[in-house]
Structure 1
Amino acid sequence: MSQPRHIAPGATYLITRRALRRHLLFRPDAAMTQLLVYALAVSARRYSIEVHALCAMSSHLHLVVTDPSGALPRFLQFFHRIVALGTKVLRKWEGPVWDHEATSVVRLLTHAAVVEKIAYVLANPVAAGLVRHAREWPGAKVEVSEIGCGELRAARPSAYFDPENPQWPEQVTLPLTLPPAIVQDSAESFRRAVAAELTWHEAQARAGMHSQGLRFLGAKGASEISPYERATSFEVLRGRNPTFAIGRDQGGAWRAAATAVRAFRASYRAALERWRAGIRTAVFPAGTWWMRIFHGVSVADVVPTAT
């Protein structure tokens, strides 16, 4: 049984989902970029999700989003479904599009974590040895300068989306918002912090490539590689899938977050045991989503704390 996921309205998350067996199905050509931006914009608007950062790699997708209304599971289900269906049509692909591993959902609990993970997302093409600078990546992405003041636009793709269906508008716009903890007055300092972190990631990646005598593939090469090939770089399989991130040098915050996660899981399991025993008055902890949506269980108003 997988661990219960705590869904808190207003929380900010790093989302990662991988293509089946690391196939390069999301190769950054124009048609795929259009599909991904369109699907994201439609899905985010449908579930009131705020998007802060995006980088669509050839074999996986990264997002940093805020979920104001606690609808993240619905958003992910809808977004990943239409991306998969559109990709199957666009690539003439038979079988699953997504890897069998669960979507990675990491809650970002501090300002430091938000800065670091947005920079990590944007630096992905450089870290993968594809381009020397994040801005050169030809796929769907967000620039640091766009966070909080830019937007992504896309016309409805011809693949999969029925123009007669009103849920697929002809044009969509996706505003790129600031994370909720960042007020407009501090937007520039936030973008500078992300840019500095991104520059550090880029420098580390270039140094690593140089030390190994490797060359960057380049934007043109990344756009022209076959989408049916697979990534060949080493990757640890079935590694840790973290629940939260707090950023560097945040030891006290890590301990508090870990305590809260343990308390939520313990309270959830106790309530689930009671519910399975037929006690339908069992109260689940705040943040319970699946049992609330599909079984209508009672949910507490506050998050449990450890004793």
Structure 2
Amino acid sequence: MSQPREIVPGATYLITRRVVRRHLLFRPDAAINQLLVYVLAVSARRYGVQIHALCAMSTHLHLVVTDAQGVLPRFLQFFHRIVALGTKVLRKWEGAVWDHETTSVVRLLTHAAVVEKIAYVLANPVAAGLVRRAREWPGVKVDVDEIGRGALRAARPSAYFNPKNPQWSEEVTLQLALPPAVEQHDADGFRGQVASELGRLEAQARAEVDRQGGRFLGAERASKISPYQRATSFEALRERNPTFAVGRQQGGAWRTAAAAVRAFRASYHVALEQWCSGVRSAVFPAGTWWMRTFHGASVNDVVHAT
């Protein structure tokens, strides 16, 4: 049984979802790029989710988002379902699209964590040995200069989407938002911090490729490889699924956050035991989503700072 996850309106997250058995189904071509932008824009508008950064790799997706309304599970369910259905049509794919592992959802609790995780997302194609610089990646992505002022646009894909259904607009625009903790007058400084961290990660990745005597695949080859192949590079199995991140050298913040997570889980399990024993007046801690949404359980709406 997985641990309960606290869902708090206004929280910012790094989200990662992987393709089944590392197939290259999201190979960066025009059709899949259009599908991903379109579905993300529709999903974000539907659930009020703010998109700060993203990078679509051939085998997985990374997003950095803020869940303004506290409905992240609904957003992920809708977004991942429509992406999978559209991908099955585009690729003529039978069976599952997504890996059996649960979506990785990491709450970003500090400014440093937001900077580092956005840079990490954007640096993914370089770290994977695909392109020498993040901006060269032909898949769906955000450039640093676009954060908080750019937009992604897509027409409705011809495959899967019924033009007579009003929920599928003919065209959509996805505005890229600043993280809520960043004031507009600090936007350039924030983008500069992300650019600096991205540069560090890119240089580190290039040095590693050089050390191993390898070469970068290149954008053209990456966009033409068969989507039915599987990635063959070594990938360690995920040993843990982190709940939050605070950034490097933030030990005090980490201890505070860890204590808050333990307190939430302890309170949740006490309430769940009461509920399972028939006590329908049990009160779950603030941030409880599943029990409130699907069982109408009472939830303490006082959110404690983390």
Which TM-score tier does this pair reach, normalised by the shorter chain?
A: over 0.9
Paired with 2:48 and 2:123, the residues of 1 have a C-alpha distance of: 26
Tell me the equivalent position of 1:176: 176
Paired with 1:234 and 1:84, the residues of 2 have a C-alpha distance of: 25
Paired with 1:49 and 1:300, the residues of 2 have a C-alpha distance of: 24
Matched, 1:209 2:232: no
- Name the CA shift for 1:207/1:115 in 2 (closer, same or farther; >3 Å): same
Residue 305 of structure 1: CA displacement? Answer: 8.6
* Secondary structure, aligned partner of 2:16: strand
Paired with 1:159 and 1:5, the residues of 2 have a C-alpha distance of: 35
Tell me the equivalent position of 1:9: 9
**1:10 alignment partner AA:** G
Tell me the equivalent position of 1:154: 154
Does the CA contact (< 8 Å) of 1:263 and 1:305 recur in 2?
Answer: no
Aligned pairs for 1:190-269 (under 5 A) are 190-269=190-269
Larger deviation, residues 232-241 vs 46-55? 232-241
Paired with 2:296 and 2:281, the residues of 1 have a C-alpha distance of: 11
CA deviations 1:103-140 (Å, max 9, x no partner) are 00000000000000000000000000000000000000
Tell me the equivalent position of 1:32: 32
CA deviations 1:252-290 (Å, max 9, x no partner) are 000000000000000000000000000000000000000
CA deviations 1:179-219 (Å, max 9, x no partner) are 00001000000000000000000000000000000000000
Tell me the equivalent position of 2:61: 61
Unaligned stretches of 5+ residues in structure 2: none
**1:205 alignment partner AA:** A
**1:290 alignment partner AA:** W
Residue 238 of structure 1: CA displacement? Answer: 3.6
Paired with 1:49 and 1:161, the residues of 2 have a C-alpha distance of: 22
Residue 236 of structure 1: CA displacement? Answer: 1.5
**1:39 alignment partner AA:** V
Does the CA contact (< 8 Å) of 1:264 and 1:303 recur in 2?
Answer: no
* Secondary structure, aligned partner of 1:153: strand
Paired with 1:303 and 1:194, the residues of 2 have a C-alpha distance of: 30
Identity of aligned residues (%): 77
**1:72 alignment partner AA:** L
Paired with 1:227 and 1:198, the residues of 2 have a C-alpha distance of: 28
Tell me the equivalent position of 1:78: 78
Number of residues paired by the alignment?
306
* Secondary structure, aligned partner of 1:2: coil
Q: Tell me the TM-score normalised to structure 1 length.
A: 0.99
Aligned pairs for 1:74-153 (under 5 A) are 74-153=74-153
Residue 159 of structure 1: CA displacement? Answer: 1.1
Tell me the equivalent position of 1:273: 273
* Secondary structure, aligned partner of 1:177: coil
* Secondary structure, aligned partner of 2:172: strand
* Secondary structure, aligned partner of 2:223: helix
**2:43 alignment partner AA:** S
Paired with 1:262 and 1:278, the residues of 2 have a C-alpha distance of: 25
Residue 241 of structure 1: CA displacement? Answer: 0.7
Q: Tell me the TM-score normalised to structure 2 length.
A: 0.99
Does the CA contact (< 8 Å) of 1:263 and 1:304 recur in 2?
Answer: no
- Tell me which stretches of 4 or more aligned residues in structure 1 moved more than 2 Å: 303-306
CA RMSD, 1 decimal: 1.0
Does the CA contact (< 8 Å) of 1:267 and 1:304 recur in 2?
Answer: no
Paired with 2:223 and 2:297, the residues of 1 have a C-alpha distance of: 48
Residue 303 of structure 1: CA displacement? Answer: 3.6
Paired with 2:53 and 2:41, the residues of 1 have a C-alpha distance of: 13
Paired with 1:13 and 1:190, the residues of 2 have a C-alpha distance of: 17
* Secondary structure, aligned partner of 1:188: helix
**2:294 alignment partner AA:** F
